[in-house]
Amino acid sequence: MAPSSRSLRAEILAVGSELLTPFRSDTNSLFITSRLNDIGIPVAGKAVVADRREDLAAAVGLALGRVELVVVTGGLGPTDDDVTREAVAEALGRPLDEDPEIVERLRARFAARGLEMPDINRRQARILRGAEVLPNPNGTAPGQWVEHEGRLVVLLPGPPREMRPMLERVVGERLGPLAAGARIYRRVLKIAGRTESHVEQLAQPVYSNWERWKPPVATSILASPGQIELHLSVRAETPEAGESTLARAVDELQAVLGSDVYSTDGRSLEEVVGGLLRAREWRAATAESCTGGLVCSRLTDVAGSSDYVERGVVCYSNRAKTELLGVAPEMILEYGAVSKPVGLAMAVGARERARVDIAVGVTGIAGPGGGTEQKPVGTVFVAVVWAGGQVVERFRFPGGREQVKFQASQAALNMLRRVMERAAGSGGVAGEGR
**Cα–Cα distance for residue pair 349/364, rounded to 1 Å:** 17
Least Å distance, CB 258 to a second copy, is 18
Q: H/E element holding 45?
A: strand 43-49
- Closest listed residue to residue 290, CA positions, set 379, 372, 194: 379
Stretch that binds a second copy, among 175-183, 190-198, 239-247, 340-348 (CB under 8 A): 190-198
Strand partners, 222: 229
Show contacts with a second copy in window 334-353 (CB under 8 A): 353
Q: Which of 20, 108, 279, 333 binds a second copy (CB under 8 A)?
A: 20
The answer to whether residue 209 forms part of the interface with a second copy (CB under 8 A) is no
The answer to whether residue 374 forms part of the interface with a second copy (CB under 8 A) is no
Given a contact cutoff of 8 angstroms between Cβ atoms, the answer to whether 291 and 395 are in contact is no
Question: What is residue 125's DSSP assignment?
Answer: G
Show contacts with a second copy in window 394-413 (CB under 8 A): 396, 398-403, 405
The answer to whether residue 264 forms part of the interface with a second copy (CB under 8 A) is no
Least Å distance, CB 151 to a second copy, is 18
Q: Which of 168, 237, 301, 334 binds a second copy (CB under 8 A)?
A: 301
Show contacts with a second copy in window 139-178 (CB under 8 A): 140, 159, 161
Show contacts with a second copy in window 46-105 (CB under 8 A): 46-51, 55, 59, 62, 77-81
Given a contact cutoff of 8 angstroms between Cβ atoms, the answer to whether 357 and 386 are in contact is yes
Instruction: Report how far Cα 110 is from the mean position of its chain's Cα atoms.
Output: 29
- 77-106: b (≥16 Cβ within 10 Å) or e: bbeeebbbbbbbbbbbebebeebeebbebb
Nearest residue (CB) to a second copy, 191 versus 421: 191
Nearest residue (CB) to a second copy, 166 versus 421: 166
**Cα–Cα distance for residue pair 295/409, rounded to 1 Å:** 5
Question: What is residue 79's DSSP assignment?
Answer: S
Nearest residue (CB) to a second copy, 147 versus 215: 215
Contacts with a second copy by CB under 8 A: the residue count is 107
Nearest residue (CB) to a second copy, 47 versus 256: 47
Stretch that binds a second copy, among 125-133, 212-220, 235-243, 274-282 (CB under 8 A): 212-220
**Cα–Cα distance for residue pair 10/43, rounded to 1 Å:** 5
Given a contact cutoff of 8 angstroms between Cβ atoms, the answer to whether 222 and 203 are in contact is no
- Closest listed residue to residue 299, CA positions, set 409, 153, 172: 409
Given a contact cutoff of 8 angstroms between Cβ atoms, the answer to whether 342 and 335 are in contact is yes
Least Å distance, CB 90 to a second copy, is 17
SS3 of residue 421 by DSSP: helix
The answer to whether residue 382 forms part of the interface with a second copy (CB under 8 A) is no
Residues in contact with a second copy, shown as a per-residue x/- string from 126 to 145 under the rule CB under 8 A: ------------x-x-----
Q: Which of 150, 177, 239, 304 binds a second copy (CB under 8 A)?
A: 304
The answer to whether residue 367 forms part of the interface with a second copy (CB under 8 A) is yes
Least Å distance, CB 165 to a second copy, is 10
The answer to whether residue 281 forms part of the interface with a second copy (CB under 8 A) is no
87-to-62, 72, 83, 134, 145 alpha-carbon distances in Å: 13, 11, 6, 18, 15
